[in-house]
Structure 1
Amino acid sequence: MRYLLNSCRVYSFLFLFTVGSVIYALYEQVKYVKKVRRDYVINFHDKEYDFENEKAEKLFRNHRMYLRNIHKIKSRIKWLNTKQLVYNNYLGPVNNRTFVVVIQCHSNVYYLRTLLEALKKAVFINSAFLVFSHDHYSYEINKLIKTITFAKYIQIFYPYSMQLHPNVFPGSEPNSCVQGFPCELGHRRDPRAAQSKHHWWWQANQIFDHLYVLKNFSDPILFLEEDNYVTEDVLVVYRLLQYARNIHCPFCELISLAAHVPDVAQYTRGKSVVSLEVWTNNMPSTAIAFDRKIWDSIKASKDIFCYFNDTNWDRSLKYLGSIKFEGNIYLTTMVGPRVFRLEKCDDKHVGCKLKYKVEEVKKFVKLISKHLYPYSIKIKVMSDDDFNSTAAGFWTDPRDHELCMHFTKQCVWF
């Protein structure tokens, strides 16, 4: 009996000790969590919040979930970029007869859907390889791209986007003025504009130099944007311009499918006009194409591109051409454009006449539909003023220069 009583006392003591230890551990954990929350709010907001306040608690919780979501997106982007998965391989291999089309995507699902609807109708689209280059990870856009069955495609993601760096460089910063970087008007950094230049330069480096499926590809690569719209003969004209360049203008660095302001008269003449001319300031940056040989020449002068004080990648490229290619970059282009801009803008915007609403573009394309597929061409050499190399500014932050140069030195997928 005494033995049983002693055993009960021992087990009771062990039980109470265990329960007490668990309660104490929970107490310490709760105390630690409260301290972390208090320190976080003081450090992040630079002032104290009362966590008894429901609104402050919700704010903290939402921000924590946002940071977790960014971490998940970064992990997903790293996986996709390094795997380099090509979809719809049953349509055939990627070779030098393939139409390689890069589509720079941002966050406008409507524009991208409109572009894909137009591309689906394009002749020879099943021989195309689409490269979607994103600077914004969107589940809705990814879902839309997954529905593509008419062409081979791959998705790549710019890893230094504002979305993934919301409060630090190269995204927006609470205080963008750093040592060696003046904050006067005209010099203040615009992270969105800077991202545009970084993204285009990054994608060109990755596609030409680090995309496995294109390592032996030597034909020109066409660069579009999500807010573009194309005619059904866009690839036919694109191939025609490649031949015209090789025969009549081997010194022309670029091919353009959208260099001129659209006009119905350009499509109703007896012959389609292929123009050889300078890539000037008033011409759009969209729908240009160039091959690996030209890219190697551009990359060899990377410092000119990366240090030119302008956030516009096309003006930076034109400036590079004005130095590298003996004065200008020359285009082989069709006078009747096959690629159009969709976005709306006001009359004060530079090049606004080149941009239209979706409905207006579709109406225009319907008007010229009977005059597509040129059966003969006429070569015309256009004389124009040289490129105006005046810089627009907003590209003085040395960190932008360093990041731009970094993309040319090594493979950067994450």
Structure 2
Amino acid sequence: MRDILITLIVFGSLPLILRNPVNGVLMWVWISVMNPHTQGWGFATTFPFAFIVAVATLFSVALSRLPKALPMSGITFTLITLVLWMNVTTLFALYPEPAYTQWSKVMKIMLMSLVTMTVIRSREDIQRLMWVLTMSIGYYGVKGGIFTIRSGGVDRVWGPEGTFIGDNNAIALALIMTIPLMHYLQQRSEQRWLRRGLSATMLLSALAALGSYSRGGLLAIAAMVVFMWLKSRHKLAGGALIVLLAPLAFLFMPERWSERMDSIGTYQEDESAMGRINAWYMAWNLARDRFFGGGFEIAEPGTFFLYAPNPTDIHAAHSIYFQALGEHGFVGLGLYLLLLGMTWRSAAWIVRHSRNQPELEWAQQLATMIQASFAGFAVGGAFLSLLYFDVPYYLMGVIVATRLLVAGQQTSASPAMLGHVGGGRHAIGQP
């Protein structure tokens, strides 16, 4: 039944996609982030829904009268440069066959991220995209939160198998990144039942993140919560809520959860943590030896034999930063850090230029919550191989579109403001 339902939804959306490429982007995001086909049990689990939606979306973009040029932005320029650099490093990959397979997957993500930046232009488009992103991951937050309550926190929460967020650590970080986006939608919702529903979804998502037993997730949620508290207008009430809820959540989790979280301070005794550090040393040594890095998919015995302190302890990078360093060298890492930095600065620009303007309050709230999302991603990503996770790239597209809207609003308001302040024509020196 689930397989048939998903099939009907996807194929039923094709006429809408051909009518407007924005619908194609929204459908692509739903499929690539939520992976609804993984919730079926039959043919849908392997059916190429994403490919069909991507082709229809690209065809719609080609036929559409909407602007087809990428918006001029430092974010888009840096992302394109990073993508080009990934293509160069693939030519020098240590393991060409697995590198090409991964290259194919990553390029599809990057292509659709650029398409998202191209077609998402209006406030309505942004709002719809935020709902799709939030509900796609929020589904697993509600499901995982209820599962944690039912099991008493004994069993771990996992994401959909075979996806970016299938690992317990990955689903934790995805949920943590989404909680601020839920809060933004809650702020912009007028219906009381919707605000309450989003509050429940946030609480269940936080509980699911804790139920994943992810130590990196715990650090990420701490970074996200601190940032949201610092940006809150009601610090006293917000602080009291954190002080009340955090101990209750921790007390609810069983002793085995506390023991795992306590191992953060004794990482030298933890085999998993030391394996990650061994992989980080490997990435560092590899990047120093090879200007182009090792290309995609370098977690192989031969690489660890040449560059790791412990050649028998083979691990994935478990860090977006060391993953970029090992696979794409210091240039790749530099471009990725620049991309994150420019996204953060653009969000800060939006906050600064929309402050005290009621018509731009939505933009200020959105940019602030995306910053909170990236604060969690920057901390949690230090311990996860999620360099190619698509959600951050979609949020970059949202920031690009929002900044253009804020800049356009200021440009259109300037002449009116000038005339009002200076008394009309006399304000520009006319007699």
TM-score (norm 2): 0.23
- Which structure has greater helix proportion? 2
Give 1 or 2 for the bigger CA radius of gyration: 1
TM-score (norm 1): 0.24
- Which structure has greater strand proportion? 1
